[in-house]
Structure formats: structure tokens, C-alpha cells
Chains A and B, each alone.
Chain A
Amino acid sequence: MRRAIDVRDLRYAYPDGTVALHDVTLQVEPGECVGLLGPNGSGKSTLIRHLNGILPERLTEVGGGVAVMGETITRDNIGQIRRQLGLMFQDADDQLFCATVREDVAFGPQQLGLTPGEVADRVQRALEEVGLVELGHRPPHHLSTGEKRRACLAGVLACEPSILVLDEPTSGLDPRGRRELIALLRQVRATKLIATHDLELVVELCPRSVVLDAGRVVADGPTHQILDDEALMLAHGLERPHILQHRHPH
């Protein structure tokens, strides 16, 4: 069976010599929703950047393999991979680089070589899905943080990827923006890998979690089991969410 994401013994060091990933192995099956947990600097963003070939800088010199939908990423199939795996970055301003929301959502479909009609269709559908049709003409600068995040999501969804990888999707959102985004993500039908500090989001969306610390996978299993392991959580700078504490009164 083809795995959605298959990372084996991935090592990576930044050009200045800092080792960011030590032999990371991670498999995600199609249709799964997996939480990727870990403190700041644990290598989450670095790992995510490997999943669509942004890293390593020189693809042919990869020290471990990353395969997406059964295909090992190489310089030749990278365009193919990026069609299937949508990546949402942490800083929404980095991702919304066009003059208006509508133009930005259209960017991905345009790169796919679709006709203008198909592009317009996809943009409309994506905007409807995230509830931003009315704000399509706005410049990104005039959106709230929550609206920016949803616009980013629309930009990724318009490419219709089968796998969605999100980097800190709820950071910096107010409670309502966070609620809306979680509800949205629940509806999206795609394999999902969510890197986050937001453990309540993980509890709500991800049946399985992986904990990364100092560039190593230190735990991989059912979310409740991992979050209940107080020693593990403390050892890796995480905190048990309050929801769980209320659900399992001692």
C-alpha cells in the first residue's frame, strides 16, 4: 500500500553545521490526521520543509529518503509532489504574497496550467469553503489574523492537494478565530499532518500524534496515550491540556 508520507532515516544539518534532524522516521497513511508536537526548535518546521522538497537545498544529496504517495522526492518529480502535498506556512504574510485575496488564491491553480475558467471555479470554491467570498477583493494587509489564515488555507485548498501539511495553524489567533479554523480543518477531506503547540487542537482533530524533540522522534502513538504520559510531556517541554485533566479526574 502506498503511504501518503514516508520519511526514513532523514538527517539534516543546516549550512552552518547545526544538526536539525537526526534519523527521523515517520509514516502517515492516506486519510490519517496526525499531530506533530514538540517544543520550539525541535525541528518541526525543518521536517515539514523536507516534505515538499524545499529542503534540502540540493535535492540529490539527501541523506535519507522522503517519499510522498509512494514516490521518492527527486529534482524531477518535485512539481508533481507539490501538486499533491499542500503546505501552509506559519507566518500568513509570507504566504499571501499577491495584491488581493482572490489573486492570491488563484496563484496555485494558475501554476497548474489550468484554463482561466477552471482557475476562477477553483478560486470561487476555495473561497466559499473558507467563507471569504466577500473579502476576495481585499488586499491581504486589511485582513485580521484569522482571516489571513483562512485565506492561506484557501490558497492551498485551491490546488486540491491530497495531503495537507500545516505549520502552527492556530498560533496568534484569538479564541474565535481558532475555533473557526479548527471547524474548517475538520471539514477538509485530505490526509493531514499538523505541526503545533496547540494540544487542544490535537485532541480534537488528530487521533495519532508524533513528538519531536531535538531533531529526534521521541514518541509516536495514539494522541490520548501520549498526552496522558505526564513524564514524557514534561521531559519534552509540553503540558497536558486542561481538557484531558477534566476528562480523567484522579
Chain B
Amino acid sequence: MHLPDGFIDAKTALATGVLAAAGVGLALRQVRIELPPRRVPLLGLAAAFLFAAQLVNFPVIGGTSGHLVGGALVAALLGPAAAIVVVTTVLVVQCFLFADGGVTALGANIFNMGIVTTLSGYAVYLAVARVLPGLRGRVAALAFAGWCSTMLAAAACAGQLAWSAAVPWRVGFSAMAGVHAFIGLGEGAVSALILLAIARTRPDLLQDSPDRAAPPVGRFVGLGLLAGLGLALFVAPFACPWPDGLESVADHLGFARPAAAPFLPALAADYRWPGLASPGVALAVAGAAGVISVFVLAIAFSRLLVPKPTRPAGREPERPAPAPS
């Protein structure tokens, strides 16, 4: 999903750059407030971990294999603000050291993978884990969050490509959403497996479990609004029944700004009409069905993996000697 240079035009690069800088700035401020000094080196180590983890292959079919993207996983492990800093760090290093992801597209990549996946992943994880208790609930929550965050990032990516007139929305979105619906399944499964592996060896690292902690909603209003604004900006103009194409986007932006609040509700209201006459509604229904089936899959997956909810710590903890001599 790393956008390279040359696919993003000047205005998209600028818009994503501003959003990414603002998001990372907010996240850094949040981290400075809530992270104890003891945990500061963990940000760098977690970034190195994520990079190394992305090199571990998960075989799929034939010779192909996938790997972790990790936004939702890191957010579940470290919290959303720290996760934004960690994923951003990984993206910057990948961009300048490996030329993986373009320099002018760095803002877009940070927005999609650093901000959208972490925030949406964390929000979904938190919401589901509060409803479904215990380790089983958390595994299901992260599996679902991994899928959702991947889909949202793919949508944002397609929106940016369409904004840049590189690939039209219809083509880009169906390709990205189609591919990432499967990639997201892998992402969710891998994230959940890793969470389970950590819970088996060091359950204490997952101590601040989301079903007990108070929802830290207040602290992430700014970041959440920012991600929402970005998504609305990139995706909404195309998801509306308005005509495709860039020329209309500029017009819409002028109209969309004063009407920002009813923008999404209006969209939802439109999709909620019972008739499946327009293709947009059919798409929405198909999308909702997809989301629900993935949710059910995630729960089934967690039941398969985590034996009994009575002992959430997991069986046979293979934890070695607890302390250095």
C-alpha cells in the first residue's frame, strides 16, 4: 500500500502532507504527556520490532506470501498516539533508506498507514473488546480491527489516487477494496495470532486491558477529527452519487466545507433507503454484509484459538525465568 513518487499530484501531496504533519504533531504531544520516561526508548524499539516483523513471511497460496502491516496491532499494544509515532518512524525509514514509498507521497503514506490504520484499528479494537470480555474478546477485536483498518486505509489510498487523477475512483477503489478485503483478512488473523502469542508468554505486557480501562476518548478527539476530516476529504467526494472526476471535486469542496456536519449523516441516510435501485446503495448493502461476515469470522476465529474464557490468561505459559540474575 506504499504509494510511490509520481502517483500523487501537488495538491494531494500538500493536503496529505499537512494532515500527516498535524496528526504526527498531535500524537507527539500526546505521547510526551502520557508516556513515562521509562517507555521513551520503547518507541524506537517498537519501530524496529515492527520493521523486523514485516519481514516475517506468512505463506498464502502457492509461492505467494503476505506480511504484517501492523497499525492496528501496534495501536492495541502501545495505544494510538504512540502507535502513530512508531508507524510514522517505520515509514520514514522505509522511505529514505529503502525507497519503499515515495518522498512526495510520504504524507499520504503516513496518513493512510500511520494515522488511519492506527486510529481506526484502535477504535474498533477498543469498542469490540469492551463488549466481548477476556482474551477471547481481545483476539476477536484485534482480528476485526485489523481488517477494518486495512480497508479504510485502502479506501483513503484509492481516494488519493483519484484526487491526483492517476487512477479513476471507480477503478482504483474496486481494485484496492477487492484486494485489501483479502489482505485485511490476513492482517486481522496475523495480528490476532501475534497478540495471542504475546499473551501466552508475557500476559503482563497486555495489562491495561481495554475492557477494564476507561475509554480514553477525550484524549483523542483532535486526532480522531483529523483522521475523519482526511477520510471525508479523500473518499467522500467519490463515494457520493456525484459525478466522478477531478473537475467536480474542486466544486464539491467549496460546497462541502460549510456543510461538513451533515455530510456523513446525509450519506448514511441516503444509503439507508430500502430500495436497491442505485448501484451506490447496492454497493453499500454489499459492504455492510461484508463487514458483518468479517465480524462473525473474527469471533469464530477467536473461539477456535482461545480455548475457554474461564481462564483468560491462556494455557501453559512458557514464560522463562522472570528476572535477570
A91 to chain B, nearest CB (A): 10
CA distance A45 to B325 in the complex (A): 5
The answer to whether B274 has its CB under 8 Å from any CB of chain A is no
Q: Ordered nearest first, which 6 A-B pairs have the shortest CB separation?
A: A41-B325, A14-B323, A45-B324, A40-B325, A45-B325, A16-B322
Give residues 298-325 of B contacting A (CB, 8 Å): 321-325
The answer to whether B41 has its CB under 8 Å from any CB of chain A is yes
The answer to whether A42 has its CB under 8 Å from any CB of chain B is yes
Q: How many A-B residue pairs have CB under 8 A?
A: 19
The answer to whether A187 has its CB under 8 Å from any CB of chain B is no
Select one of A41, A42, A44, A46 contacting B321, CB under 8 A. Answer: A41
- Give chain A residues whose Cβ lies under 8 Å from the Cβ of B325: 40-46
Select one of A16, A46, A97 contacting B324, CB under 8 A. Answer: A46
CA distance A43 to B325 in the complex (A): 5
Is the pair A18, B41 in contact by a Cβ cutoff of 8 Å? no
- Give chain A residues whose Cβ lies under 8 Å from the Cβ of B321: 41
Q: How many B residues face the partner with a CB closer than 8 A?
A: 6
- Give chain B residues whose Cβ lies under 8 Å from the Cβ of A14: 322-323
- Majority secondary structure of chain B interface residues (helix, strand, loop or mixed): loop
The listed residue with most A CB atoms (<10 A of its CB), out of B41, B321, B325, is B325
The answer to whether A20 has its CB under 8 Å from any CB of chain B is yes
The listed residue with most A CB atoms (<10 A of its CB), out of B321, B323, B324, is B324
- Give chain A residues whose Cβ lies under 8 Å from the Cβ of B324: 45-46
A102 to chain B, nearest CB (A): 20
Which B residues are closer than 8 A to A by beta carbons? 41, 321-325
CA distance A42 to B325 in the complex (A): 6
Task: Identify 17 residue pairs between A and B in the complex whose beta-carbon atoms are under 8 Å apart, listed by A's number.
Answer: A14-B322, A16-B322, A16-B323, A18-B323, A20-B323, A40-B325, A41-B321, A41-B325, A42-B325, A43-B325, A44-B325, A45-B324, A45-B325, A46-B323, A46-B324, A46-B325, A97-B41
CA distance A81 to B325 in the complex (A): 23
- Give the residue name and chain of the B residue nearest to A215 (CB): B325
- Give the residue name and chain of the A residue nearest to B322 (CB): A16
CA distance A42 to B323 in the complex (A): 11
- Give the residue name and chain of the B residue nearest to A43 (CB): B325
B41 to chain A, nearest CB (A): 7
- Give chain B residues whose Cβ lies under 8 Å from the Cβ of A41: 321, 325
